[in-house]
Structure 1
Amino acid sequence: MKLGFIGCGVMANAMMGGIIKAGLYKPEDIWGADPFEGSRQKTKEVNGINVTDSNVEVLENCDTVFLTIKPQYYAGVIEGIKDHVTDKHLFISIGAGRTLAYLAEQFGKPVKTVRVMPNTPAQVGEGMSAACPNEYVTEEETQRALNILNAFGKAEIMPENLFDIVTGVSGSGPAYVFMFIEAMADAAVNGGMQRKQAYTFAAQTVLGAAKMVLETGKHPGELKDMVSSPAGTTIAGVRELELGGLRTTVIEGVTAATEKSIAMQSAK
């Protein structure tokens, strides 16, 4: 089996790199199509895969195909490939707002499709992806898609009606975390630490705390309590964050992003 990508942008290259590093596919078993020669050349140099300017050539050589193009290009791309789609093809679509119903309408016939919402940490092998297969995808094909997605992070099956909240939490979430890291680093600089060192301390702290949640299985509140000694420094900091409405602000931010995702789909 061979793997294809229609679109060779940043996210596609991040996925390819994780897949190759995990040993799921060899570079010679991956095809990537892009209309821009610069994108093709960079992809060839970085990941060593087969590149082409023909989307149809990808379909001719691959049975599993990622649609890694911008949402506005979906209609045109699918129009150009739909007559070449066969029962062997499994499509994995990462287009924001491009629902399974939209994809079915564009293809105009039964096509095995898995809708995916990834996020940018896929670029460093720590992505979080939600996946939703349509009714034509078998259990074996669903597992194949999950294995590929897990090569550059973590992936879970999620009903499509929750994709907007996925967008609010994990899709947009890296931006919230970057802001938190920046704020922690600013405080460190205010206290006398060098800027570069401040970013390292703040980012590594976030990374370590996140791993503790995932690997211990403990509730985040329990982990917070473990480090909050009576009359200590941590509980003093927690008090100030609570006074500033940290939790409420984060909840409102995620909610706003979710509502925007819903509004963008209804506006299409």
Structure 2
Amino acid sequence: MQRVGIIGYGNMGSSIAQRVKNQYKVYVFDRDKNITSGLKDIEVLPSLKDLTVQAQIVILAVKPQDLDAVLNEIKDYAQGKTIISVAAGMPTAYIEKALGNVKTIRAMPNMGARIGKSVTCLSKGAFASEEEFLYARELFNLLGATRNINEDLMNAVTAVSGSGPAYYFDMIEARPREYKNQPRKFLRDFIHLLTEAAKSAGFDYREAKTLSTLTGNCAEALLSETGLPPIQLIKQIASKGGTTEAALEVLHRGGSLKEAVGAALKRAQDLSRKEF
């Protein structure tokens, strides 16, 4: 059984851990010990060093602003490991430079991971093999659908499918009666709008439609399967200073979904590190 270590046990880290723990030996580390107490079938380790040494695959499920500190702590133990980052806007080349040319894969799941309905796009760094990339995709298949994407489009992925469920929930909050009366039409209309926004972010029509359909269906499944109100699901997706927050600010000012996706894309690009 392969050993997977997850750094960060927030909404995404915990969703990944819970979905893969039956197929992998899972270790987790989070600086907030309260959120990792009492876990079942998951081993909580006391330090980043312990996790990196024990795991074969290390998943970086931390916010972009916290990534540098994590990389600095694990760099002496990362050689020979497969590093998978789900941090928005952070290129594989940045992680490779920080850790010393390690095998790195970038993944962008969304909150559908919680219920096995995620849309996860993956891209391979310079030093990961095709076999290691296949292993990573098999792992994320446990969370839902997966897509291979050129890394040049990963910021657009973040803006479309990563943040996308929050756009759907926000539209429901703004037009609850319309959603209640015609939920199927509401979903179809959202998928059409998101497809057009995805095209403007750089996807061709086929990929834009596929990502948007998967994202819309994922969002609707989250509503029905969690039973949580849209506003609560939005709070679980949006983080302060993140891509989703940037998009929602545009929507709340009366902007279009295309403009909101553009704002999320710009924020993802701003988070990206250029100094390689």
Does TM, scored on the shorter chain, surpass 0.5? yes
Kindly report the root-mean-square deviation, in angstroms, between the aligned alpha carbons of the 2 structures. 2.8
Q: Report what 2:115 is aligned to.
A: 124
Structure 1 counterpart of 2:16 = 15
Aligned to 2:5: 4
Which of 44, 69, 76 is 1:76 aligned to?
A: 69
- Contact kept? 2:88, 2:155, Cα under 8 Å: no
CA contact (8 A) 2:9 2:61 kept: yes
The equivalent residue for 2:86 is 94
1:249-264 equivalences under 5 Å are 249-264=256-271
Query: What is the TM-score when the length of structure 2 is the normalising length?
Result: 0.68
Give secondary structure in 1 for the equivalent of 2:142.
helix
Q: Does 1:140 align with 2:131?
A: yes
Residue in structure 1 matched with residue 47 of structure 2 by the alignment: 54
- The superposition leaves residues 168-213 of structure 1 with CA deviations (integer Å, 9 ceiling, x where unpaired) of 211221122112333453336xxxxxxxxx49x7389749x97xxx
Classify the secondary structure of the residue corresponding to 2:76. helix
8 A contact 2:90–2:271 mirrored in 1: no
1:231 corresponding residue in structure 2: none
Q: For 1:78 and 1:267, how far apart are their aligned partners in 2?
A: 17
The amino acid of 1:202's aligned partner reads P
Aligned 8 A contact 1:36 1:53 in 2: no
Report if aligned partners of 1:181, 1:206 keep a CA contact under 8 Å in 2.
no
Of 56, 59, 78, which aligns to 1:66?
59
Residues 1:265 and 2:272 are matched in the alignment: yes
Q: Secondary structure at the match of 2:5?
A: strand
The match for 1:38 among 34, 38, 45 is 34
1:70/1:135 Cα in 2 relative to 1: closer, same or farther (>3 Å)? same
One-letter amino acid of the counterpart of residue 104, structure 1: E
Q: Which is richer in helix?
A: 1
Q: Which amino acid aligns with 2:122?
A: A
Residues 66-118 of structure 1, C-alpha deviations (whole Å, 9 max, x = no match) = 0111212211111111111232x1011011121112112211x1200101122
Unaligned runs of 5+ in 1: 189-197, 211-218, 221-247
TM-score with structure 1 setting the length: 0.70
Measure how far apart 1:119 and its partner are: 1.4
- Is the CA contact 2:106–2:122 (under 8 Å) kept in the aligned structure 1? yes
Cα distance change of structure 1 residues 175 and 124 upon mapping to structure 2, 3 Å threshold: same
Higher relative contact order (CA 8 A, sep 6+): 2
Equivalent pairs counted in the alignment come to 212
Shift of 1:256: 2.9
- What residue identity is the alignment partner of 1:95? A
Say which of 194, 198, 202 aligns to 2:183: 202
Which residue does 2:252 correspond to in 1? none
- Of 124, 148, 167, the residue aligned with 1:157 is 148
Q: Distance in 2 between matches of 1:261 and 1:72?
A: 12
Change (3 A) 1:149 1:203: farther
Amino acid aligned to 1:77: V
2: CA distance between counterparts of 1:172 and 1:101? 23
Instruction: Please say which structure displays the higher CA radius of gyration.
Output: 1
